[in-house]
Amino acid sequence: MRKKFKKLLAGILLSVSLFLFAGCSATLDPNSEYPLQGQWKDTYGLTEYSFLDDQNLILTPTALLIFLEPMS
């Protein structure tokens, strides 16, 4: 029982770490004063990160928006 749990936990941790280490790629040229400012998308295209001037962060799940669009 414990071996199955450990394997499951290791699999979950491996999956999460792969998503975390996938990194982000810039969609806009970052500002030289604030290198993180701008819009960024993860390499899988699932999330868009917007770093604003007032040091706020907006996360947008882009994959959800694709599924919610009406089908023609």
pLDDT (tens digit, 9 = 90+) per residue, 4-60? Answer: 888 888 888 877 776 666 655 555 555 556 667 777 877 777 788 888 877 788 888
**Quick one: pLDDT at residue 54?**
79
**Quick one: pLDDT at residue 39?**
79
**Quick one: pLDDT at residue 11?**
84
C-alpha dihedral sign at 34, 37, 41, 42: positive
**Quick one: pLDDT at residue 22?**
62
Check whether 63 has a pLDDT greater than 80.
Answer: no
- Contact in structure between 37 and 52 (CB atoms under 8 Å): yes
